[in-house]
Structure 1
Amino acid sequence: MTQELIWGKSGSPHIDGNDIGTINLAMRGVGNYVLDYKDKLKATVASANKITIGTGVMSFEGRDIIISAAETVTIESGSQGMKRNDIICEHYHRDTSNGVETTNLVAIKGTPASSNPKDPTIPSGTILGGATDAYMPLWRVPLDGISVGTPVQLFEILTPLKTVGDSVTQMIEAGTLSVKPSALGASYIKFAHPHDAPPLAVTATIAKWSGDEDRGRYVIPTVWDTAKDGFQLRFYRRDLGDWAGSLDCAVSWIAVWAA
């Protein structure tokens, strides 16, 4: 069969790491990520040959790995007059004799050079491809002589679903309210909260008005100006060919911001 019911009873053990990894990749997007949790695997230079990796969670080809306490990775000390790039990786290994999978942090040493050192080659095997060993680059550690420079982040941090939901909520505002334009037909409507930039687009229309069911036929609201905290409408009387000054109106509007 080409189908497998993962979250269901089959009568015998049938779920393995590849199943969970595949589902995680399908939900999160193909790739390797560090999740926005705890220290997010922050790298700190502890000494000339020791790098501390902070707590956090990573997703390595869909395999979720937790670092619950800071770990130390040892790198080879640099040499005078030479530069070098080392890469700290998460290393995956599968024991071919029993299928047991393990992970650990390792440092892959680069080749010393007098200038412009290159990153070391990272083995290309993948977990889903069946490799017994695979590597997820986390940090580049630059060495200049015996001095260790600031580690450079090589991974992407995956945005939490809550943050994504909050950002989508802030991308759209809408409302319906009664306004009384000025003599020139202008009325300023404020957003519920200020934004970092004016909206990408605003549209408005006359809402149903209990006092005059036909008002929407001859009053036209036009978005005149936009700002971070609101927008200006001007109301035009189509029947009079002039601005709708001091005329009570009910207006529905929606504003959209770029992601």
Structure 2
Amino acid sequence: MEIITGYTGKPHVTSEQDRDVNIGVVGEGSYVLRTGMQLAAEVSSNNEIKIRDGVLMHQGCTASIKKNTYDSLTITNGSQGMKRVDLIVARYEKNQDNGIESLDLKVIQGTPAESNPAAPQYTEGDIQAGDYVADMPMYQVIIEGLNITEVKKMFKVIGSNKNLSNKVAELNENITSVKSVNKNITKMIAGSKVVNAKASTSVQVFTNSEINKALGVTNSSNANTVVLMTNGDGLAQKVHVEGSTYLNSAWHATFNQDASAGSIRINYVIFYFGYGAVTVE
């Protein structure tokens, strides 16, 4: 084993080691970091695109454009009546003779077509495996006739560890909030039931024993159960179900007026919190 971030009396840190550390922290993909202008593209003319400042990490290899500056890329003229898709890539290259490495922005020109032009191919490559060229797609440049009509971003912007920690904290808070709301609801069931109504402002829908059987419990009561009800067929019965009432060990649907004698469909949701119930004074 050899130390990386430590003084040894001589230069010893290699680019391969540095990339391995970055891959271990950020990931093995290719990303733009959340700093500066995040390498935003700006169409300056139909022959020039400016890439603003920012930092990228391409398979662990980092490169930047200095703050408040830009890199200028030349786009070859389009053709009247033709369409073309060019590709802007961040290209890693390693000189096979002397091992010198570079990471620069390049334009790969596409092939003109009257319709549906294809984006040009690029070299994927694997830097840590020793490939001499590896491209990171940055933007597709859409050209129609003589004009650049669109610049499509192709990279992913990745947040910092602080951003990630904040999102995890927010997620945990949301989960805790949901648990706090639902921790005492142990069973829930929904369905539809047809019952016989009289010319009255209510009708019995469930007894405690019926709810016990439906939920598989033994102690359902007005102290640990809530039943929500609606009129499931307004054409058959013109009444509106205004709520539910518990009376004499049974749940009743309550109406805004007397129902007509006959059948009524009641749609319902039953919430049971018999175990671990929370009492609020």
Q: What range is the shorter-chain TM-score in? A: 0.5 to 0.7
2:116 corresponds to 1:116:
yes
Residue 237 of structure 1: CA displacement?
Answer: 10
Structure-2 change in CA distance of 1:145 and 1:12 (3 Å) = same
- Assess if the C-alpha contact under 8 Å between 1:237 and 1:243 holds in 2: no
* Larger mean Cα displacement after TM superposition, 90-99 or 140-149: 90-99
Structure-2 change in CA distance of 1:199 and 1:145 (3 Å) = farther
When Rg is computed on C-alpha atoms for both structures, the one with the higher figure is: 2
Q: Could you give the per-residue CA deviations for residues 29-57 of structure 1, whole angstroms, max 9, x where no partner exists?
A: 11000001111111111111111101100
- Assess if the C-alpha contact under 8 Å between 2:87 and 2:137 holds in 1: yes
Tell me how far apart the structure 2 counterparts of residues 110 and 222 of structure 1 sit (CA, whole Å). Answer: 69
Tell me how far apart the structure 1 counterparts of residues 110 and 5 of structure 2 sit (CA, whole Å). Answer: 44
Residue 223 of structure 1: CA displacement?
Answer: 11
Unaligned runs of 5+ in 1: 174-194, 206-220, 225-233, 249-259
User: Percent of aligned pairs with the same residue?
Assistant: 31
Q: Classify the secondary structure of the residue corresponding to 2:128.
A: coil
Amino acid in the other structure paired with 1:59: M
Tell me how far apart the structure 1 counterparts of residues 164 and 111 of structure 2 sit (CA, whole Å). Answer: 41
- Assess if the C-alpha contact under 8 Å between 2:27 and 2:60 holds in 1: no
Structure-2 change in CA distance of 1:237 and 1:41 (3 Å) = closer
- Assess if the C-alpha contact under 8 Å between 1:204 and 1:223 holds in 2: no
Corresponding residue for 1:257?
none
Tell me how far apart the structure 2 counterparts of residues 141 and 152 of structure 1 sit (CA, whole Å). Answer: 7
The equivalent position to 1:57 in structure 2, one of 16, 30, 55, is: 55
Q: Classify the secondary structure of the residue corresponding to 1:113.
A: coil
Tell me how far apart the structure 2 counterparts of residues 223 and 23 of structure 1 sit (CA, whole Å). Answer: 56
Corresponding residue for 2:159?
159
2:86 corresponds to 1:86:
yes
Amino acid in the other structure paired with 2:19: G
Corresponding residue for 2:266?
none
- TM-score under structure 1 length normalisation: 0.66
Tell me how far apart the structure 1 counterparts of residues 183 and 116 of structure 2 sit (CA, whole Å). Answer: 58
- Assess if the C-alpha contact under 8 Å between 2:41 and 2:49 holds in 1: yes
Q: Classify the secondary structure of the residue corresponding to 1:151.
A: strand
Q: Please give the residue correspondences for 1:176-187 in structure 2 after superposition, counting only pairs within 5 Å.
A: none
Unaligned runs of 5+ in 2: 185-222, 227-271
Corresponding residue for 2:12?
14
Amino acid in the other structure paired with 2:130: G
Q: Please give the residue correspondences for 1:1-259 in structure 2 after superposition, counting only pairs within 5 Å.
A: 3-10=1-8, 12-68=10-66, 69-173=69-173, 200-202=178-180, 204=183, 244=279, 248=281
Structure-2 change in CA distance of 1:237 and 1:117 (3 Å) = closer
Residue 27 of structure 1: CA displacement?
Answer: 1.1
- Assess if the C-alpha contact under 8 Å between 1:204 and 1:222 holds in 2: no
Amino acid in the other structure paired with 2:165: G
Q: Could you give the per-residue CA deviations for residues 179-236 of structure 1, whole angstroms, max 9, x where no partner exists?
A: xxxxxxxxxxxxxxxx8x995543558xxxxxxxxxxxxxxx9898xxxxxxxxx987
Residue 20 of structure 1: CA displacement?
Answer: 0.4
- TM-score under structure 2 length normalisation: 0.61
Amino acid in the other structure paired with 1:64: T
Residue 125 of structure 1: CA displacement?
Answer: 2.7
Tell me how far apart the structure 2 counterparts of residues 155 and 131 of structure 1 sit (CA, whole Å). Answer: 21
* CA-atom RMSD in angstroms: 3.2
Q: Could you give the per-residue CA deviations for residues 159-186 of structure 1, whole angstroms, max 9, x where no partner exists?
A: 122221112222234xxxxxxxxxxxxx
Q: Classify the secondary structure of the residue corresponding to 1:96.
A: coil
Q: Classify the secondary structure of the residue corresponding to 2:127.
A: coil
Amino acid in the other structure paired with 1:24: N
The size of the alignment, in residue pairs, is 196
Amino acid in the other structure paired with 2:100: V
Q: Could you give the per-residue CA deviations for residues 42-85 of structure 1, whole angstroms, max 9, x where no partner exists?
A: 11111111111011000011111110111110011110111111
